[in-house]
């Protein structure tokens, strides 16, 4: 058995889901005895059998990824409740086992998986999906790439009919059906509060769970960004969201603005000042980044070749 085969065999065994009592299964997905699997590449010692030694790694793997997953999605846990969230997490991580070197990527497939397994969210699927999108955007914005920002002076000198602006790679935009930003911030504030007793803590959880169930749909446009190494949520007007979405898709500033106001309720006389204020704010927050020099160089070369 070479090293690669040994690593793959170990990984399959360690990533086998635990039993309900959080022990290693007696047989694997192929129906083979896990004792035989363990004995094939793990030696026993004077205290533990091969099965016992493998079980330690199996349990620690699952305890670690379940703990990390719960840390990444506290809002989803609040929406679903502890029991349903735990069942959902185990089903998701069994169906979408980790393929990355970092625990950060555990939830990367959660939105798509939850859409394919709606019963895991019960009657709160739409709310749960909004929360998943927000919490994953939080992760993306936290450690996404940042490029050199475009300053306000550069923006003021540009011709809007030709200008195409690039948004920071870490910058995230969401169109949501529920005000999950308020919900997530409220939940985090509750977590950071010291309660007088476990009974009071449990009572507050029940009240919050009932309040979540009574939450009414509200169209929300949200930006998730970072500034000075801290993360922020910022609500957007619908027109802001359209402009930014169009810019990210590669449209010019003029076309993006025209698209945003086609069905807008903002008075025509107020639109220029709104656009000016928005762009100044976005630039001040560092949402725009410098043009991609490699693409500019490539475009110049194409033009030169055409001229020749």
Helices (H), 96-179: 110-116, 125-143, 152-157
Choosing from 70, 86, 121, the residue where a domain stops is 70
The pLDDT score that the predictor gives to residue 156 is 73
Residues 118 and 190 in one domain: yes
Report how many domains make up the chain. Answer: 3
Residues 53 and 116 in one domain: no
Residues 124 and 31 in one domain: no
The pLDDT score that the predictor gives to residue 15 is 94
Residues 133 and 252 in one domain: no
Choosing from 36, 55, 70, the residue where a domain stops is 70
Joined tokens for residue 156: 């003021």
Residues 137 and 196 in one domain: yes
Residues 135 and 85 in one domain: yes
Residues 277 and 304 in one domain: yes
The pLDDT score that the predictor gives to residue 215 is 79
Distances (CA, A) of 13 to 7, 24, 28, 49: 10, 9, 8, 15
Rg (CA), the chain: 25
Domain range holding 203? 73-143+180-214
Residues 210 and 91 in one domain: yes
Residues 184 and 168 in one domain: no
Residues 157 and 203 in one domain: no
Residues 32 and 164 in one domain: no
Distances (CA, A) of 191 to 78, 139, 185, 201: 11, 19, 10, 10
Residues 29 and 123 in one domain: no
pLDDT along the chain (308 residues), means of 10: 89 93 93 94 94 96 97 94 95 93 95 97 94 97 93 75 92 96 81 51 56 80 94 96 97 95 95 95 93 55 48
């Amino acid at each position: 058995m070479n090293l690669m085969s040994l690593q793959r065999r170990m990984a399959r065994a360690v990533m086998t889901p635990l039993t309900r009592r959080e022990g290693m299964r007696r047989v694997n997905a192929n129906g083979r005895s896990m004792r035989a699997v363990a004995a094939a590449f793990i030696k026993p010692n004077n205290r533990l059998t091969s099965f016992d030694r493998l079980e330690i790694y199996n349990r620690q793997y699952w305890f670690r990824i379940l703990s990390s997953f719960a840390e990444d999605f506290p809002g989803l846990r609040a929406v679903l409740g502890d029991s349903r969230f735990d069942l959902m997490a185990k089903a998701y991580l069994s169906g979408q086992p980790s393929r990355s070197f970092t625990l950060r990527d555990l939830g990367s497939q959660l939105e798509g998986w939850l859409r394919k397994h709606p019963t895991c969210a019960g009657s709160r699927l739409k709310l749960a999906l909004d929360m998943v999108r927000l919490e994953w955007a939080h992760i993306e914005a936290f450690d996404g790439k940042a490029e050199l920002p475009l300053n306000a002076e550069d923006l003021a000198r540009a011709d809007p009919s030709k200008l195409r602006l690039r948004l920071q790679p870490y910058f995230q935009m969401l169109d949501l059906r529920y005000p999950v930003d308020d919900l997530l911030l409220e939940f985090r504030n509750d977590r950071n509060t010291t309660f007088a007793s476990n009974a009071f803590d449990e009572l507050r959880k029940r009240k919050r769970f009932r309040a979540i169930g009574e939450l009414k749909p509200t169209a929300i446009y949200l930006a998730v960004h970072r500034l000075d190494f801290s993360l922020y949520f910022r609500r957007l007007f619908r027109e802001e969201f359209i402009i930014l979405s169009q810019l990210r898709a590669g449209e010019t500033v003029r076309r993006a603005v025209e698209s945003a106001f086609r069905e807008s309720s903002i008075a025509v006389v107020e639109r220029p000042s709104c656009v000016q204020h928005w762009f100044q704010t976005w630039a001040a927050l560092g949402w725009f980044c410098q043009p991609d020099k490699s693409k500019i160089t490539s475009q110049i070369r194409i033009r030169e070749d055409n001229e020749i």
